[in-house]
Structure 1
Amino acid sequence: MEDPEARQRIKSKTEQTSRQKGEAEKNRERLRKRLCYLLRYGAMKEGLKVYDGGYVALDDAMKLHLMKWDHEEEVLQEVKTSLSCRGTKRFEEMEKDGRTYIRAAYYRMFERNPCHEATHVPTLLETSLEFVTSNIEMYDLQNFPDEYLISAMIHRLKRKKKLNKHLIGQLLVPALEHLDLEGIILTESIFKLIWTQCPHLRVLSLKDCGYIVTDSLLEQIIRKLPELETINLAACKHLTDKGLESISRYAKKLKQLNLSWIKGFSDKSLLNMVLKCENLKHLDIYDLKISEESTIILEAIARERGMVIVLKGLTSAVAPENPSVLLHTFGKVSA
């Protein structure tokens, strides 16, 4: 007969091991998030020197208050082993002159340091941007010509989760050529403002806006923004073959298209779109399942045009070695 006390000890030990594994995974997830922030956005903001290629010195990074919970060995292990949802490396390392350097493998969009070097004194630009974005109702920006500053205001309000319908209406100006709407609650009236007030848009990111982006709305966007060269529709899962037909018919200047995390397109519509969008150079269809025959045709078109295609399992010369490296090119806005 099994000893009840022995059974209880085994159960307790198993539960303890499970808790330890769970806590270790939580700690690793927290480290992963800190590294993503630091190596994609926050290095300059935190006062680190960013070297060519987006690398930062590991020993400098470890001195930051942000990293006080971590050991250098843990950070290096995470850099070596962390994989994205696409199965590609999130981070990269490099040894040079006896020092170790690390960087994010993709999506590097560093924010400048808001303070003068080696001080906590905000720059004049930082102070001005903070005042204007905090009191934006006071300003009429419709004829403001500097896209960089408008984009910086949009980015700042997005990060603070204050970019509502009213404020975005004030910031949609003719000077805008790049617009990233990821993370913003959108309505059809906002889209009407976009194509009315921003006729020169070349780059538009609607990533994760699937709740509002339908085939009919996409057709209006493309028809009324004829200068579009880059469109990010990642995770807009309501789109169907009709959406691809609109792209085929109206997106004459399209060079980059992201359709990742969408699985509902047919082979025929996809190939038709690629054939008709003659300027298309980058196509992300990572999650789309297409037949072997269609894959062969797609590869042939890509080779002839010099296209790059991101598709799960594609190993030909037309696919990037790391399919995540294209992500930063879609909807990128300087801030």
Structure 2
Amino acid sequence: MAPFRFRMPRYLFPISLLGTAAGGIVLLKDYMGGKRYTGTERMAGKTVIVTGANSGIGKETCLELARRGAKVIMACRNLESCEQAKAEIVLETANHSIHCRRLELASLASIRAFAKYINANESHLEVLINNAGIMGCPKSLTEDGFEMQLGVNHLGHFLLTNLLLDLLKKSAPSRIITVSSIAHKWGDIHFDDLNSVKHYDPRAAYEQSKLANVLFTIELAKRLEGTGVTANCLHPGIVNTDLSRHMSISKSVVSGGILSPLKWFIMKTPIQGAQTTLFLAIDPSVEKVSGKYFSDMHVKDIALQAKDEAAAKRLWAISEKWTRLSSRSQSGGDGQNGTGSVIQSNLSKPEPV
């Protein structure tokens, strides 16, 4: 009798090759996405606020902070979506100290109401993560008359941060982290048309708002010297989130179908995009580092225009005036009364410093 010989079916070989290739692609993508934050520090007893926390980088940031025992306040415009994300985080981490609070960064009144609630109900705040953002949207205005990208990405976080500064100082050592972008390197602060009244270009407006994030961080860090509060900003990488939903290429069924596999391969996942934020929020090595711009958990150089100290001070003065941050301009109390909308024509004029 002839000995039995096993023959592998021919179809199994290409399947095996495909499986090996797919595994290799996944490993390569993980490698290309940069290093993961591997610190083992716990966050128990610390309170963290994350804006734009219901999806993408913000949600992944909340998830990891929750795993480490932090009390996480998810500050979101859409409370229904926030509650759903919260439920998923609680289920995965068994941390029930996760809270949803409504925050509309396109509304000064909403920001003031949120900050008023936090200051009245939280005894300490160790980390503020300014994560929320909008990119490349059609021209639109916030409730108070600001160009939407400048209003949400910069002015909203500018006001929120300043209204929570006393609590952050009280809780020192504490940290302020603002998600900027490498796009700041192509941006300019158009002081002659800061609010894009004369001309609006979605890309230029986004780049301006991200440059504003960096200028704000550097100026804020100087003002916080000696307080125990640090301020840093970061580029999360090119991350595959719904941030690009307003771009025409994302709306096209044809190009979207063609580019989707490519996007998956070359862009970071939200988990990968959250790593530098987590590093800045948790790692002991950056507890006293302030006024820096990070990417892939390392300090990176900033654009020449981001080093303009005069521009940073001028932008701060304008932002302070437009958000009515000074005590004189806050005569309307919590922002609900006596303030009204900013007059659009006045916003296009350069402001004296």
Q: What is the TM-score normalised by the length of structure 2? A: 0.30
The structure that has the greater radius of gyration is: 1
Q: Which protein, 1 or 2, shows the higher relative CO under an 8 Å CA cutoff with sep ≥ 6?
A: 2
